[in-house]
Amino acid sequence: MLKCIIIDDEEMSRAIIEQYCSKLNHIQIVNQFNNALDAIQFINNNKIDLVFLDIHMPELNGFDFIDSLNNPPNIILTTSDSEFALNAFEYKCIVDYLVKPIKLPRFIKAVTKIDTPKITPQSVNNREAHEMYVNIDRRLVKIHIPDIYLIEAKGDYINIKTETKNHIVHTTMKKIEDKLPDNLFLKIHRSFIINIKKIVDIEDNSVLIKKEVIPVSRSNRSELMSRLNLLK
């Protein structure tokens, strides 16, 4: 059981996080605070595994709060601004960066980084398969999932690009996204899903995969950056 606290000066934001946590049976919210100063004493006197921390707060902001702790617990930042994503990578204790409004699937993905095995089947669809079958010209064709480097939307079809072959499939991005393991794949644009292990280079608002330059939407950039193993 992960013992957690919520630090956010917005009551609605605290309520949303509390509601999301209630859907996961391995998380226990032990306290909530509308400012970081009150939370410092509580953390110093109690064992806390995880903090959901807003960045913009009166008196003491989220980063100043972290700096004030000698041994900070795991922290998931919650904020309305994506501009602080790079700053977050300077802190080893920060495991993810959630931009408001926070959606439940993204919330679960963040918590999964801390304690994946304890998340129950009712909460998360554990997608560990290494292969999938797609219907092409009335044949079921097996695709080795780690070989996929890019998926591109093409109207009513998607183009699944692998190391050896491309597959044009009549389906939606949502359906294929639900079949892919979260630890490998990320939707970075409404028309593109990438295998983050296949990234060659990142520049501004685009990524290079193989020899293809793929755009990254502004709303997905912070999540992409949080998934990378950056040298700090």
Q: Are strands 74-79 and 139-144 parallel, antiparallel or unpaired?
A: unpaired
Contacts of 43 (CB under 8 A, 6+ apart): 5, 51, 69, 73
For residue range 14-24, what is the model confidence (pLDDT) as tens digits?
A: 999 999 999 88
132, containing H or E segment = strand 131-136
Residue range 2-118 forms a domain whose CATH class is alpha beta
> pLDDT value at position 113?
81
Mean pLDDT of 123-133: 58
End-to-end CA distance of the chain: 30
Asked if the domains 2-118 and 131-227 are classified in one and the same CATH topology, the answer is: no
Coil, helix or strand at residue 173: helix
Return the exposure string of 30-64: e unless at least 16 CB atoms fall within 10 Å of the residue's CB, then b. Answer: eebbbbbeebbeebeeeebbbbbbbbebeebbbbe
- Break the chain into its structural domains and give their ranges: 2-118, 131-227
On the question of pLDDT at 125 being above 70, the answer is: no
Share of the chain above pLDDT 70, in %: 91
> pLDDT value at position 50?
95
pLDDT category at 1 given cuts 50, 70, 90 is confident
Mean pLDDT of 116-136: 55
pLDDT category at 229 given cuts 50, 70, 90 is low
- CATH code given to domain 131-227: 2.40.50.1020
Determine whether 171 is exposed, middle or buried from the number of CB atoms within 10 Å of its CB (0-12, 13-18, 19+). middle
Mean pLDDT of 157-175: 92
Query: Looking at the DSSP assignment, which residues form a beta bridge with residue 140?
Result: 135
Count of C-beta atoms within a 10 Å radius of residue 119: 19
Tokens of 43: 């953390």
Query: Looking at the DSSP assignment, which residues form a beta bridge with residue 52?
Result: 6, 76
For residue range 64-101, what is the model confidence (pLDDT) as tens digits?
A: 999 998 889 999 999 887 777 767 767 889 988 999 99
Mean pLDDT of 136-164: 91
Lowest-pLDDT range, 95-99, 110-114, 115-119, 177-181? 115-119
Ramachandran category for residue 64: left, alpha or beta (phi over 0 → left; psi -120 to 50 → alpha): alpha
Chain position carrying tokens 């685009």: 206
Lowest-pLDDT range, 51-65, 125-139, 186-200? 125-139
pLDDT category at 122 given cuts 50, 70, 90 is very low
For residue range 46-61, what is the model confidence (pLDDT) as tens digits?
A: 889 999 999 988 888 8
Count of C-beta atoms within a 10 Å radius of residue 226: 23
More confident site: 230 or 3: 3
Mean pLDDT of 142-152: 93
